[in-house]
């Protein structure tokens, strides 16, 4: 028997998604347990930084792909906790897939993108291309 949590706003979110295209369309599988990590982006002098909060997600379960001038960060997390006590047995588990995508700026060096994960935070560094500034050449008027 599959026990699911009742969500009174599920149909409202689906309607909002269709009307305003605010949320991406979700499959029935992801409706069981939605996992939407928070993302922070910032621009530095030499690179763009994308930080994704992924508590409980192993490095092996994170996928970063580049396609059609976008970076796609996806993966899944699963959690299972078992407790054996003298008078009861308790099992809690959760599962969720996620996917976030971002358009890449034109000046990103896609060959040198780096990613690291530490303490449940994924950081993707998108280095900027070094644009050489041409020297100003003066031409004398004759």
Whichever domain contains 47, its CATH number is 2.60.40.790
Residues 6+ apart with CB under 8 A from 117: 54, 57, 59, 62, 123
Token pair listed for 110: 């896609």
pLDDT at 127: 94
Number of structural domains (the chain) is: 1
Domain extent for 80: 32-127
Q: Which residues of the chain have pLDDT under 50?
A: 1, 22-32
User: Would residue 13 count as lying in a domain?
Assistant: no
Question: For residue 126, with 0-12 CB atoms within 10 Å meaning exposed, 13-18 middle and 19 or more buried, which class applies?
Answer: buried
pLDDT at 28: 43
Query: Do 50 and 72 meet the contact criterion of CB atoms below 8 Å apart?
Result: no
9 domain residue, yes or no:
no
Predicted model pTM: 0.62
């Amino acid at each position: 028997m599959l026990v699911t949590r009742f969500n009174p706003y599920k149909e409202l979110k689906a309607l909002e998604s269709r009307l305003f295209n605010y949320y991406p369309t979700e499959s029935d599988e992801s409706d069981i347990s939605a996992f939407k990590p928070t993302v922070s982006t910032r621009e530095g002098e030499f690179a763009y930084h994308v930080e994704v909060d992924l508590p409980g997600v192993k490095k092996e379960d994170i996928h970063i792909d580049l396609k059609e001038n976008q970076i796609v960060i996806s993966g899944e997390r699963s959690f299972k906790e078992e407790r054996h006590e003298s008078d009861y047995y308790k099992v809690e588990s959760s599962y969720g897939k996620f996917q976030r995508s971002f358009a890449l700026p034109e000046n990103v060096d896609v060959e040198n993108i780096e990613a690291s994960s530490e303490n449940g935070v994924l950081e993707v560094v998108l280095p900027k291309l070094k644009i050489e500034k041409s020297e100003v050449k003066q031409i004398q008027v004759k």
